[in-house]
Amino acid sequence: MTISVYIPTRNRVDLLAAAVASVLAQEFTDIDLIVVDDASTDGTAAYLESVVRSDRRVRFIRNDSPCGAPISRNKAIRQAVGEFVTGLDDDDQFTPRRLGELHDFWIALARCGTAASCIYAQDILISGGQEIGTTKKQGSVDFSDLIKSNQIGNQIFAPKQTFEAAGLFDERLPAWQDLELFMRIVKKFGPARLLDIPLYRFDVTPSRSRISSKQEKVRTAYKLVSDLHCSDDVRSRQRLMLQQFSPYYGIRPTAADFAEFARLGFYPRGLAALAARLLRI
């Protein structure tokens, strides 16, 4: 069974080379790697041309002008030839067993009759080039879990048809594209399941240029996602609102945030959580 892996990238050829190498070094070798170069100007295209010449499993798509990660990911998924699809960010890496373990776990779940919309694994957290720990994600995730916290992370493994039937990544969102797609997938196909092994090297170095540092985009994404998924449930809207103030984003709640939270309804525990996040940052 071929597994398609997509990597969107822009102007990070040094990091991209390590990401691509980690895919090509997989113990599971039936791979279709699609890299989408989002109009890079740093030599990325030349690097990818050399990789394509040396390994027939690699393809790349070149955007003539910057389109952003959601459009780039969707382009890759539409062109994927694998039965299964998963992704990799250009500053992260797979461990050598990742694809094989995910594939085998999917087959094992099917054989024992355990329903899964998609699967995810634990991450190895990297900062400044050093391992600083591993995630402790819960064993299964449904829609209510994702409203409280993105317990899945940033990558899933699922049949290509699951991505397509869910509608792919929402290209309107400036952030939270992963979270919002996961919401649609678990709503439509049921809970996501955890493979409890750390198989993804996730770079959380604070100095990286990340979506997490673009606070206005996170706030805009919250408004869009809450309108899409919580329009009739103010408690869910409040729980989703709290996600903006995770330490990962570094956003400090303002007086206007407290007023908006209170306007949505009486939720003492949530208000206490909001206050705690103000004090923690």
Q: Tens digits of per-residue pLDDT, 23-69?
A: 999 999 999 999 999 999 999 999 999 999 999 999 999 999 999 99
Q: Strand runs (DSSP E) across 21-159, as ranges?
A: 31-37, 58-62, 84-87, 93-94, 119-127, 130-134, 140-141, 157-159
∠197-203-207 over CA atoms, to 5°? 160
Note the pLDDT of residue 213.
54
> CA 49 from chain center: how many Å?
26
pLDDT digits (tens, 9 = 90+) for 182-204: 999 999 999 999 999 999 999 99
Q: Which CATH number fits domain 3-203: 3.90.550.10, 3.40.640.10, 3.90.1150.10, 3.40.800.20?
A: 3.90.550.10
pLDDT band at 250 (very low <50, low <70, confident <90, very high): confident
CB 58 within 8 A of CB 79: no
Closest to 51 in 3D by CA, of 31, 77, 71, 69: 31
CATH 3.90.550.10 spans which residues of the chain?
3-203
DSSP-derived 3-state class of residue 48: helix
